[in-house]
Structures are given as C-alpha cells and as structure tokens.
Chain A
Amino acid sequence: MSDEIIQIETPFQFNEENKQVFEELIGRYPVKEAAMLPTLHLAQRQEGYITPAVMRYVAELLEVTVMKVKDVVTFYPMFFEEPVGEYVIRICQTLPCALRDCKVVLEHLKAKLGTDVASETNLAKGTTDDGKFTLMKVECLASCDVAPVIMVNDDLYKNLTPEKVDEILAKLAS
C-alpha cells in the first residue's frame, strides 16, 4: 500500500492573541471537544484554510483524534481545506434570491471575475488567477427581504444589480 503518512513539516500553532482567545473559549464548555467549531473558525482566520497541521493542532488542543476534526471540517461548508482568495464571495442561490434574479448577478460575477463557481471539494475552480477572489454558492443567507445578496468575507451586500456588483468589485480591487 501507499503507506506514506503525511509528514507535517511546519507545525501550526495559534499566535499569542489567538491563544488567549482559545483559553477563554475552552473555559466555556464542560467538554473540550465542544470548542471545535469556534476553534476551527479561529484557526481558519489565522491560517486562511484548514491544513493537516491545523487539524493535528486542533485535535491535540481538544484531545480528540485527527479524524474527528477532519470529520467536522468536511461536514461544514464554511471550513476550507484549500487556499481561497483574499475575498470570498458567497452568493445566495436559494428560492427567495432566485425569485429576485440572483442568476443575473451570478452570471455577471462569473464574467467579471473570469472564473467558475467553486465546488466544496474544489475551491480552486472558483478562485481567480490572482488569488484575490473566490466565488462560491451558498444556501440561504437569511436576507431574503433584500435579495439578491452576496456575502464578501464578513460583509453582506444587499439588493444587488450588475451595476452594484461592479461597484463592489471595484472597491475591493482597489
């Protein structure tokens, strides 16, 4: 068998600030494993995506097996296992947005960025060549009253039209 086990050359660890955040986090739960999601969010914010080194580090911190971490990482679409662009553009495709022409916005974004839409197992497909943007679909962002919407990193952009998308992209690119 290809019994090559991955050698983690550069171990990951939290920076000082995140270490403190983690210490505070872990105190909230009677079971360490419960801090899984916030810890992974924290790690992803620091590292950009969840590498094997991150998984191993988180597993050690929470006293679970690496598989438990991998299990969770692959279940939740908000965790990335591949590098993503500086700006992650999440476009809602669910019914209320679809009724407000999100397809037009999506097509416009695709044309403008010159990339396809990322799939959960292939984020590279939706990432621009310059590594600036990653375009992905998400399910309902709970902003159906201001549809269609996109979320760029942590910010929500509402009532989109192709023109508004142009403005947003121009602002982000600068």
Chain B
Amino acid sequence: MAFIKLNDLEIEVEDGTNIVEAAKQHGIEVPHYCYHPGLSRPANCRMCLIETYAPPPGAPPGTPAVPLRQLATGCTTSVRSAPPERKLDEKYDAIVQTDSPRVIKAREDILEFLLVHHPLDCPVCDQAGECDLQDFSYRHGHDKSRYIEVKNVPPKKDLGPDVLLYSTRCIVCTRCIRFCDEVSGSGELGLINRGSHDEIDIPRSHEGTPIQLLDNKLAGNVVDICPVGALISKDFLFKSRPWFMEKANSICSGCSVGCNVTVEYKTDGLYRIKPRFHGDINQHWMCDDGRLGYHYVNSDDRLQLPLKKIDGEQTTTQWSDALTLITEKLSEVEADDIVVIGSAQGTNEDNYVLQQFAHDVLKTTQLGLFGQQPGEEHKFPQFTIEADKNPNTAGARSILGSANGNVVLEGDTLWEKVAGAKVVYLVSGVPDRALEDAEREALEKVEFLIVQDVLPSAVTELADVVLPGTTFAEKDGTFTNSTGWVQRIRKAIDPPGEAQVDWEITQQLAKQLDGEIDYHFAGEIANAIAENVEGYGDATHQNIGDAGIKLA
C-alpha cells in the first residue's frame, strides 16, 4: 500500500494505482477523457493534469517537497510505496495536488482548446446529459470561448452496422481506436490526416468507399466509451434523452458469460443495454449480440394472455381457464407419463420452483432442460462470447437436478422421453427458437403439450395450452454463468398484458394441485436454493447482493 497526500487528505491506496483512480476512490474528481481504466494510457487529452511534489534537486535529505515545475498527467502517474529514505516529508510516498491554482487553470485552458472546434450542438446530441465534455465544461471550464475563427467541420460518417461518427464532436481521445486494437483486436479504427485535421475513421479509399467496416461483435462498446457524442449507436439514435430513462442493474441473457449490464427503460419498454463493470467477468465490455438482442422484449407480438387449442386453433383464454385445463390433464395421467422441462433462459428461482413442483407435487423425477441452440464462440484478445447462448444453463442444470432422484435430460435422450410422454410441461422463454425435425416430431407426439413462453414460436405453435411468461427484464432472480458466478437480474418493466413471472405461474399450478409451494418474492426462493441445492450454500439473497457471488 502507498501512503499519499492528496490535496488535504492522507490516504492509502494499492501500489500501482494511478492518481485518477486514487482520487476517485476518495470522491475527488480528476477530469479525464482519453484515460479509460480498461485501455492503455496515451495521456493525449491532457485533461487530468495534476501537480506533483518532489524535493528540490540536489537538496539535503529532509528538505520539504516542493511542486514540480511541470504538471503531470494523473492517469500516467502511479503511486507505489517508497523506501524510507525516499519518503516525501518523511512519511508520504507521493504528494499530489488536484486542486491547486495551476491545475485549475490548466484544466480551463485544455477545455477551451477542446471546445474550439466543437459544434456545441448539445440540444440535438444524443450524448447530452451523459457527456463528459458537458459535465467537465460545467464543472471545470470557462464560461465563454474566445475562439472566433472558422471551425473545422469534418463530415459525419457511417462506420458500421450500428455505429455512426459525428466527427465534428470528436475530441480525438482515441479511446475507440485503442479499444479496437487492444480489446477486440480487430483494429478497424484509426486516425486519418494530421494535426487539427485528425479524424477517426475506418479504412477507406480516397473517394470514401469503405475498405473495411466497424462490424466486429464488440463494436458497440466504442459508443459507450466515447466520452462525447461523437460515436453514436444507430439503435439508440434520437430515441430518448438519458435522463428520462430509468436504470436497472441486470445480467445479459444473450450467452453464458453473464455480462453485467445496466438495462435502461421507460414505462413503454427497454431502450438500451449498456455494460456494467465486473472485474472477473466482462470487465467494462459486452458484445453487440447482447447489447442489441433486447428488442424481442419490446415486441408487439409478445404473448399477453394464455392460449388454448380448440379444434386445432389456438385462441386466447383466461388464466383460470387455462390453469384448470392443465391441472385436470395433469391429474389424469400417471407421474411417469409427465415430463417437466425447465429452461436455461429462466432464472434459478424459476427452475427451482419448477423442480419443486415436479418432484413434490407431480412426483415425477423426469426433468428436462430446454434452451437456445448453441451458436458460435467468438474469442477476442480480452473478451469471449460463449457458444452457449443461454444465460443460465449451469444454474438450471444443477437446480433442476437438485432434489433426490431427479434426472435432468438434455438433447436426444430428452426428446426420446418427450416422444413417449402423455403430458409435457415445457417452460421455454427462448426467443426465436427454431425446432429441429427430431424435436418437432417428438413434441407433435405429445398428447397434451403445455408451453410457457414469451413470444409465439415454433414451440408454442404445437402447444395445447400456452402460458405467457416473462423475459429477463420483467422479473427478479438470479443466473449462474458458465464460470459459476451467481448474479442477480432485476425487474425493469412490467410484463405485457397478463403475462406472469414464470415461477409464479408454476406456483399457481402447484397450488391448484394442493401443493405446498408458497413463495412471495424471488429472494425467498434464492434462500431456499441456498439451503437445499448443493454448492449454493453461500448464495443467499443477502450474499449475492450487487456484485454476485462465485460458487465454490
């Protein structure tokens, strides 16, 4: 640990911490643009200038440290514990001022330079409200510009499928370039021209035709890390002002990596998903599949009422009717003829209640696991997108199989079993799930198929009863990712129509069959999981908290 004097504070920080981070840990803002904790540090914006101290050159030991002539950049100034003879003022490892008059003046000057060519088009800029240039100008800048010359007006550019560049707003911090070089490793972005004509661009011919597009699967992150409104997501362009949106911390449901995300929403649906830092999982990043994969939640086609099949036609019905229909059917058949299938898209809580329903109420030990078909794995220098496109395969598998004697069937064995079953209760929740021939044939053979899903799909088409369930954005719960992190998702929006949280649906079925399942909120189920599922002992509602917990 390094003991430093930061302004008037005496603080201790980890060895190797830079001043921007050290100050942030103690609530002091050192404004910065080019510095990003996940990227290399070129120190080119010069915004984080700070005053550092050292003893005067050649002075005898014990001389008090004085400010150095040159200001240093906070992002590249790391502190480290020093040997006793090199301590400053006999006790500090570093003395730093982030609010001296020189520093304050330097910040003002740099901000003035940053704004000379900036169009100041905040009223029509997507970034307004979450823009570092706005915020730092407000807190550290001049109140007026002295620039009266002609501004540079570089063109607006289309960089790739989801990214637009408003070059006029760009402050050339090069975060996006470094992201493409270091994290995605694809290197599509670079600078063109020189000096004040520097522009970010993809490679193009002289006439402007692209040679390569910014189309890697992590491209959307450049929009997040852009400190100004230069890089803009086409998906979010002109959709909403950031301050009108509510935010919920959640987990991406696109694959089994379990990226921490922030879901931003209004009452009418989700607006965007942004990554949230998690040091062991996704760092600062997420992939575009996850980022842009939320649209199904907002779909107008979402199942809003239960459906039942009458003469081969599915028609909407009341919940009470659907539940009665199902319980009647379930009580008609033997336990061995029932297959209950959980979902790798569902939460641990959904699957736990389902498992309890099957084991305790239906007395069947035949459980299945359903989920999205595997996709491609993508490996980047600092990021991986997994082939398993379900957020909770690991969790669902162990929870469904947690009770005595339970067998979790997957793949061909599951479909063989399904083909021979009389009643199948399939909880899906998988958007856009195509069915293979074998799967379709098996499901067609089922006498009475109950499907709980969020969107009409190839699976719901075959169902005798369809129950409208919920997506990740409409419920609380936990996912267990491929590396054993149990992390919480949170309800952002209300389910559409009369759709209900999946475990609640299951619980209602159980109640109709006189089962003793009675939970009130997801956390209660999480505690039940912690109590009863092997390996989840520590994963209580309290322990999971905001950061999640890694299973032993």
Contacts and interface: CB of A to CB of B under 8 A. Distances in A.
A and B directly contacting (CB within 8 A): yes
Interface of A: 1-6, 51-52, 55-56, 64-71, 74-75, 77, 81-82, 120-121
Contacts of B209: 4-6
Nearest to B206: A81
Contacts of B188: 65, 67
Interface in B152-208: 158, 160-161, 186-194, 201-206
25 contacts: A3-B161, A3-B210, A3-B213, A4-B209, A5-B209, A5-B210, A5-B211, A5-B212, A6-B204, A6-B205, A6-B210, A52-B211, A55-B203, A55-B211, A65-B186, A65-B190, A65-B212, A67-B187, A67-B203, A68-B190, A70-B190, A70-B203, A74-B191, A75-B194, A120-B193
Given A52-B211, A65-B188, A70 B204 contact: yes
Given A65-B187, A67-B188, A67-B202, A74 B193 contact: yes
Nearest to A49: B206
The 8 closest A-B pairs by CB, nearest first: A65-B187, A71-B190, A67-B190, A81-B206, A74-B192, A66-B203, A6-B209, A70-B203
- Could you tell me the dominant secondary structure of chain A's interface residues? loop
A84 B204 CA distance: 19
Interface of B: 158, 160-161, 186-194, 201-206, 209-213, 234
Contact of A68 (B160, B187, B205, B213): B187
A74 B158 contact: no
A62 to B, nearest CB: 12
A22 B288 CA distance: 40
A76 to B, nearest CB: 8
Contacts of B205: 6, 51-52, 81
B186 to A, nearest CB: 7
A36 B193 CA distance: 17
A56 B211 contact: yes
A65 B189 CA distance: 9
A66 B212 contact: yes
B380 to A, nearest CB: 14
Nearest to B215: A3
A150 to B, nearest CB: 23
Given A1-B161, A2-B158, A66-B203, A71 B191 contact: yes
Contacts of A64: 187
A70 B200 CA distance: 11
Contacts of B204: 6, 70
Residue of B160, B161, B188, B191 ringed by the most chain A CB atoms within 10 A? B191
Residue of A51, A71, A81 ringed by the most chain B CB atoms within 10 A? A71
A77 B193 CA distance: 9
Contacts of A82: 206
Contacts of A81: 205-206
A82 B209 CA distance: 14
Nearest to A67: B190
Given A66-B211, A67-B212, 16 more contacts: A1-B161, A2-B158, A4-B209, A6-B205, A51-B205, A52-B203, A52-B211, A56-B211, A66-B203, A67-B188, A67-B190, A70-B204, A71-B192, A74-B192, A74-B193, A82-B206
A70 B192 contact: yes
Contacts of A65: 186-188, 190, 203, 212
Contacts of A121: 193
B157 to A, nearest CB: 10
